[in-house]
């Protein structure tokens, strides 16, 4: 079974004459356990593609199957549950909650599964260990370096045992050393856990770390 | 299974909401303050109204709630008033009446110069048990006093410095018109009973037959009666009217029972308390607007957090519940503090009014529940706004 199957995906913003075509006839399959980069100039539609893949946005037309599940018929609650169970997000700006410790930030997604605080923290601790931050468990994000913050965010993405990690410019806010660390970590996780990783990036060096590179130009895919 | 999972998630969201409020403690306290003041004023007004009602009834109860007062105005019947005995005998022929006594009441200024306005009351011994008169000094009128120049005086008359070199004690002389009366008793000070046409504390009780010495002629007659225990006061009043009309008091007779007056006063007090509570309810509404304001600020400031929560798998209903819980908790906390504050304010008010304080049983649940309701009502809009945010929009990196 494929991890991701996109078929004839279109995405328009607005309706009628003034509508803007952002994605045009995108067909794409990504295998389970793959690690691939999505590259493209800004405005090419790669962010929109990522939002659709992450179930945050719906295509105007076309079919999207995530692990064999047809998601275009799913209602908002099902989409939220799928995001919670199957997808881990990593953002350029980390998006950690500043008032929570690293541990509670990582534990956060499990809240929506109705897990008790104790269980959540136990799971979160495992993931922080996996990303090498066992000694930073009780630090607030403001007390961590950029690279450490992104590792907390990756731990958060992993905590729900997802089959897919979507990283949107994960190294965009980091210096080159931290960037290499983060990409190494993502690659390592892909290899050891078999989790599918998709990275949106500008950076050719980042793309080189990936097994596959998908190029988006003017809303269409060039492979 | 699903239901229990939902309850579980609800409790988790509740504790999440609590943690969120603690994180913005200063702002939460500000929102709380409006609700505290609103609830406090509602509770205080309800309590003060409740105690005012109790207080006004307490005044009556000291003299019995079975009292009926009949007054004849205008010309009495020819041939003078019926004898005191014929009135005192009414209970024997009327089942619903326990006691009845006639009074002749007139106003007179006692003492020299400005003097003191007093009610001079011609009475018989039977008035004492009816309105619970007791003496601190000397004795009350007795059936053997007939036309003696004896006087039993109220506490204020006795204490007055302006009458015949007062304070007066039994044995002292009291000048009324051309007569000198001998004080034979001083009455215990009582609370004012609005049903009686005179104030006991500034009254002078004379033997029924003696009042003619002061008044020259018989003044109009007032009949005090009390209904039997368990007798319907309305029926007792009717019976009394009937008996009095048999005795020749058919016209110009006005009757009023303590029960009627109490009911009227209670109704008035309740309307008043309701009005006060409604007015203070407006301040609670203003407090609710404060909660809405703070919650809208929270939502605006936490847009990114909301988007993140959605990306991490929160349903829109989770977001709505969380924000609604934050507003409800704020209001409930404010409601509880406000209720306590309101009771305290009412207690202080009652204390300085010399009232006996009993908290209104309605005020406590009402204060807490209305504040919770206000929180949910004014929290609904910000929570809906939060739940409708678009995660893509809020998470876009700047």
Domain boundary assignment for chain A: 4-222
**Residue B8 touches partner A, C-beta closer than 8 Å:** yes
Contacts of A112 in chain B (CB under 8 A): 9, 312-315, 318
Whether the CB-CB separation of B181 and B173 falls below 8 Å is answered with yes
Q: For residue B78, what pLDDT band results from cuts at 50, 70 and 90?
A: very low
Interchain pair B311, A111: CB under 8 A: no
Q: Beta strands B97-110 and B221-227: pairing type?
A: antiparallel
Question: What is the DSSP code string of A56-116?
Answer: SS--SEEEEEETTEE-TT--HHHHHHHHHHHEEEE-TT----TTS-HHHHHHHHHHTTT--
pLDDT band at B368 (very low <50, low <70, confident <90, very high): confident
What is the rounded CA–CA span in Å between residue B336 and residue B371? 9
Higher local confidence (pLDDT), B241 or B341 = B341
Q: What are the residue ranges in chain A where pLDDT is below 70?
A: 223
Which helix H or strand E contains B255, and what residues bound it? strand B253-257
CB proximity list for B179: less than 8 A, separation 6 or greater: B149, B213, B214
Q: pLDDT class for B73, splitting at 50, 70, 90?
A: low
pLDDT at B363 over 90: no
- Which pLDDT value is given to residue B9? 84
CA distance B1 to chain A (A): 12
| B81: pLDDT strictly greater than 50 | yes
Gap between the Cα atoms of A43 and B334, Å rounded: 49
Non-local CB neighbours of A70 within 8 Å, separated by 6+ positions: A63, A64
Task: Check pLDDT > 60 for residue B77.
Answer: no
- Calculate how close chain A gets to B307, using CA atoms only, in Å: 10
Q: What token pair was written down for A57?
A: 């946005």
Q: Residue B26 is encoded by which pair of tokens?
A: 């200063």
Q: Is any Cβ of chain B less than 8 angstroms from the Cβ of A62?
A: no
Whether B75 has a pLDDT exceeding 60, the answer reads: no
Contact A54 B16 (CB under 8 A): no
Nearest CA in chain B to A55: B311
CA distance B343 to chain A (A): 37
Helix (H) or strand (E) segment spanning residue A198:
strand A196-201
pTM tops 0.80: no
Confidence (pLDDT) at B80 = 55
Instruction: Report how far residue B130's alpha carbon sits from residue B200's, in angstroms, rounded to the nearest whole number.
Output: 13
pLDDT, greater one: A124 or B162? A124
pLDDT value for A73: 86
Quote the mean pLDDT of chain B.
84
Domain residue limits, chain B: 7-60+264-395, 74-251
* A73: three-class secondary structure by DSSP: coil
- CA-based torsion, B22, B26, B31, B34: positive or negative: positive
Structural tokens at position A138: 């009780």
Helix axes B258-301, B316-352, angle to 10 degrees: 140
Nearest chain B residue to A80 by CA distance is B313
DSSP lists the bridge partners of residue B109 as B117
Please give the pLDDT value at position B114. Answer: 74
Pairing relationship of beta strands B150-153 and B179-187 according to DSSP bridges: parallel
- Is the CB of B397 less than 8 angstroms away from the CB of A91? yes
pLDDT score for B219: 66
Do residues B305 and B329 lie in contact, with contact meaning Cβ atoms separated by under 8 Å? no
CA angle B36, B42, B44 (to 5 degrees): 95
β partners of residue A5: A29, A65
Alpha-carbon span B89 to A143, nearest angstrom: 97
- What's the mean pLDDT in B168-174? 87
Looking at the complex, does the CB of residue B84 fall below 8 Å from at least one CB of chain A?
no
Put simply, whether B398 touches A (Cβ < 8 Å) is: yes
User: How far from the centroid of its chain's Cα atoms is residue B43's Cα?
Assistant: 15
Query: For residue range B95-116, what is the model confidence (pLDDT) as tens digits?
Result: 888 888 888 888 888 877 677 8
Which whole number is the average pLDDT over B58-80?
68
ipTM: 0.94
Instruction: Specify which residues B203 forms β-bridges with.
Output: B119
- Whether B385 has its CB under 8 Å from any CB of chain A: the answer is no
Indicate the fold that domain A4-222 takes in CATH. Rossmann fold (3.40.50)
**A92/B contact by beta carbon, under 8 A:** yes
Out of B12, B304, B395, closest to residue A111 by CB:
B12
Contact residues, chain B, for A85 at CB < 8 Å? 313
Measured CA to CA, the distance from residue B351 to residue B47 in angstroms comes to 13
Query: B2 to chain A nearest CA, in Å?
Result: 11
Which region among B40-54, B77-91, B154-168 has the lowest average model confidence (pLDDT)?
A: B77-91
Which residues in chain B have Cβ-Cβ distances shorter than 8 Å to A56? 310-311, 391-392
Beta partners for residue A110, in sequence order: none
Q: Do B12 and A95 touch (CB under 8 A)?
A: no
Q: What is the nearest CA distance from A93 to chain B, expressed in angstroms?
A: 6
d(CA B189, CA A13): 88
**What is residue B1's predicted lDDT score, i.e. its pLDDT?**
47
CB–CB of B315 and A85 under 8 A? no
The residue of chain B nearest to residue A86, with distances taken between CA atoms, is B313
Q: Which residue has the higher pLDDT, B87 or A88?
A: A88
Q: Least CA distance to B304: which residue of chain A?
A: A95
Place of tokens 């847009």: B303
Phi-psi group of A114: left, alpha or beta (phi > 0 → left; psi -120 to 50 → alpha; rest → beta): left
Closest CA in chain B for residue A104: B16
Considering only CB atoms, which chain A residues are within 8 Å of B306? Answer: none
């Amino acid at each position: 079974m494929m991890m991701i199957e996109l078929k004839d995906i279109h995405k328009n913003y607005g309706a009628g004459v003034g509508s803007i075509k952002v994605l045009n006839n995108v067909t794409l399959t990504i295998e389970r356990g793959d690690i691939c980069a999505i590259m493209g100039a800004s405005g090419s539609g790669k962010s929109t593609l990522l939002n659709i893949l992450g179930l945050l946005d719906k295509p105007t037309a076309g079919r999207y199957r995530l692990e064999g599940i047809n998601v275009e018929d799913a209602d908002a609650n099902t989409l939220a549950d799928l995001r919670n169970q199957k997808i881990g997000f990593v953002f350029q700006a980390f998006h950690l909650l500043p008032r929570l410790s690293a541990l509670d930030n990582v534990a956060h997604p499990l809240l929506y599964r109705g897990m008790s605080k104790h269980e959540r923290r136990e799971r979160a601790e495992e993931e922080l260990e996996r990303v090498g931050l066992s000694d930073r468990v009780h630090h607030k994000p403001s007390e961590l370096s950029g690279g450490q913050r992104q590792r907390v965010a990756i731990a958060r993405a992993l905590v729900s045992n997802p089959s897919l990690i979507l990283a949107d410019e994960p190294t965009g806010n980091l210096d080159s050393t931290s960037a290499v660390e983060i990409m190494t970590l993502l690659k390592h996780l892909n290899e050891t856990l078999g989790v599918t990783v998709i990275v949106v990036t500008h950076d050719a060096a980042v793309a080189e770390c990936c097994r596959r590179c998908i190029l988006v130009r003017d809303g269409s895919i060039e492979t | 299974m699903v239901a229990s999972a939902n309850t579980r998630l609800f409790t988790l969201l509740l504790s999440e909401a609590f943690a969120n409020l603690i994180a913005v403690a200063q702002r939460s306290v500000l929102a709380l303050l409006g609700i505290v003041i609103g609830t406090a004023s509602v509770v205080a007004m309800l309590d003060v109204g409740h105690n005012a009602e109790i207080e006004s009834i307490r005044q009556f109860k000291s003299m019995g709630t079975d009292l009926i007062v009949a007054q004849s105005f205008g010309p009495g019947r020819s041939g003078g008033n019926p004898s005191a005995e014929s009135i005192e005998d009414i209970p024997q022929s009327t089942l619903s009446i326990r006691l009845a006594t006639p009074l002749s009441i007139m106003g007179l200024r006692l003492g020299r110069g400005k003097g003191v306005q007093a009610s001079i009351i011609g009475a018989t011994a039977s008035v004492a048990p009816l309105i619970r008169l007791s003496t601190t000094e000397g004795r009350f009128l007795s059936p053997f006093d007939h036309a003696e120049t004896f006087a039993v005086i109220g506490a204020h008359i006795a204490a007055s410095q302006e009458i015949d070199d007062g304070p007066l004690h039994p044995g002292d002389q009291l000048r009324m018109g051309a007569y000198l009366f001998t004080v034979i008793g001083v009455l215990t000070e009582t609370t004012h009973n609005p049903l009686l046409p005179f104030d006991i504390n500034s009254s002078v009780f004379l033997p029924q037959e003696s009042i003619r010495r002061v008044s020259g002629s018989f003044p109009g007659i007032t009949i005090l009666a009390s209904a039997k225990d368990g007798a319907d006061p309305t029926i007792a009043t009717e019976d009394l009217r009937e008996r009095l009309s048999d005795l020749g008091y058919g016209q110009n007779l006005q009757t009023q029972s303590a029960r009627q007056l109490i009911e009227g006063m209670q109704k008035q007090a309740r309307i008043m308390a309701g009005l006060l509570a409604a007015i203070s309810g407006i301040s609670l509404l203003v407090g609710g607007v404060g909660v809405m304001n703070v919650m809208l600020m929270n939502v605006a400031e936490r847009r990114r957090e909301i988007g993140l929560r959605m990306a991490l798998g929160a349903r829109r209903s989770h977001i709505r519940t969380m924000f609604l819980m934050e507003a409800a908790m704020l209001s409930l906390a404010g409601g509880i503090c406000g209720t306590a504050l309101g009771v305290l304010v009412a207690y202080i008010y009652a204390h300085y009014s010399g009232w006996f304080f009993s908290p209104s049983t309605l005020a406590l649940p009402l204060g807490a529940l209305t504040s919770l309701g206000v929180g949910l009502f004014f929290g609904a809009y910000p929570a809906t706004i939060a739940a409708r945010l678009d995660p893509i929009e809020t998470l876009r990196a700047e």
